[in-house]
Amino acid sequence: MNIKAERRSGSSSDQRLDRLAEIAVRVGLGLAPGQELVMTAPIEALPLARLVAEHAYKAGASLVTTLFADDAATLMRFRHASRESFEHAPAWLFEGMAAAFRSGAARLAIVGEDPALLAGQDAEKVATANRARSKAYLPALELIAAFATNWTIVAAATPAWARTVFPQASEDEAVARLWELIFSASRVDGPDPIAAWAAHNQALQARTHLLNERRFAALRFRGPGTDLQVGLAEGHEWAGGSTTAKNGIVCNANIPTEEVFTTPHKDRVEGVVTSTKPLSYQGTLIEEISVRFAAGAIVEANARTGEEVLRKVLETDEGARRLGEVALVPYSSPISRSGLLFYSTLFDENAASHIALGQSYSKCIRGGDAMSPDELAGHGANRSLIHIDWMIGSAEIDLDGLGRDGRSEPLMKKGEWVV
């Protein structure tokens, strides 16, 4: 008997939405009394954003500022704004956010935008807008990537996203089903979500301890279309679950999270790799990515859809064709078991092992928080305007850890941990 399918949650979806907001504030942010909060959200996520604000104030927030994004207004820009105007991004806004983080504000992002919003738009305009935005966002991104403050990302089931995940269902049904998945993946459907998160963080940390003890020089992924050796940065440190930000606050940056991850060496990645899930990047679906790395850099790149956007992304800067993250997720992770494609990095990256192009996390280098950008680069940590995760794991991928002496140890077989 399949107990899981029979199980019915005792709590209503209103209660679970409230618990998701509470988990976002207490576990995701670990918001401190007196701390300011800057929140971004799609306009359709207003009910969750309000509950987050309520829980933040209950936790002692001094001020909650919410910035809503509107997909429909974004589309109007693509329809009516001049081509030259796509060079423009609101640098003032991102500088303001960076100033808020520097002065101690926490950051919460609710995601749920339409994964294919810009699919039909001019690729040149999309690429120009992405590039301008990435560049303008850099001051804020650097602080986030360095965990200068506590931050978290949670998801809300918006109609456009839900329709993409469940194309056969009616809109109401799709939204309801997506919420169910968000609640269970975010661990708010059990009797004690706070305790569930404590146990989950402990399990992820046991995995990072084991990998940190091994001190592998490289990882090797093998499967259909993939034979990739990922050299790891000098002094790399595995992370997973909760993190202590530089302000001393313990936060969970992603809700949900299933990954353990570290920093690859930017010059030591070799071989070919094929994506195992489509990548939804700023409204463009990039499917069946296949790239070849030599001396750390992508030297050949193809994709079945979105290839032009992918190529533009790789041209963003020198670091855009190199890796900033490698992350391991077993094929049996709860999100993977749903068998669904979410078209959202927050969910899909927690269903499969993945790599990220671009910016690395200084947290994932031992002592990296105190290092200058040049010192980090000297350890092999990559630097870029972008950080884009894409999935390379599946039930057909084997993974070995390679020691400094060249000895290899099986870590995953057919997508599952064997250590």
Which residue has 């994506």 as its token pair? 275
Q: Which is nearer to Zn ion, 35 or 359 (CB)?
A: 359
d(CA 63, CA 270): 48
Shortest separation between residue 353's beta carbon and Zn ion, angstroms: 9
Shortest separation between residue 188's beta carbon and Zn ion, angstroms: 21
Residue 110 is classified by DSSP as: E
**Residues within the interface to Zn ion (CB under 5 A):** 259, 261, 325, 327, 349, 356, 389
Q: Which is nearer to Zn ion, 161 or 361 (CB)?
A: 361
Shortest separation between residue 283's beta carbon and Zn ion, angstroms: 19
d(CA 363, CA 377): 13
Region for residue 177 given its phi and psi (left: phi exceeds 0; alpha: psi -120 to 50; beta: otherwise): alpha
Shortest separation between residue 346's beta carbon and Zn ion, angstroms: 10
Shortest separation between residue 145's beta carbon and Zn ion, angstroms: 10
Q: Which is nearer to Zn ion, 349 or 400 (CB)?
A: 349
Three-state DSSP class for residue 24: helix
Q: Which is nearer to Zn ion, 64 or 273 (CB)?
A: 273
CA distances from 398 to 226, 285, 327, 405, 406 (A): 10, 26, 14, 20, 17
Q: Which is nearer to Zn ion, 144 or 356 (CB)?
A: 356
Per-residue burial over 192-228, b = 16 or more CB atoms within 10 Å of its CB, e = otherwise? ebeebbeebbeebbebbeebbeeebbbbbbebeebeb
Run of H or E residues at 58: helix 46-58
**Which amino acid belongs to residue 59?**
A
Shortest separation between residue 261's beta carbon and Zn ion, angstroms: 5
Q: Which is nearer to Zn ion, 21 or 386 (CB)?
A: 386
* Residues 233 and 381: beta-carbon distance below 8 Å: yes
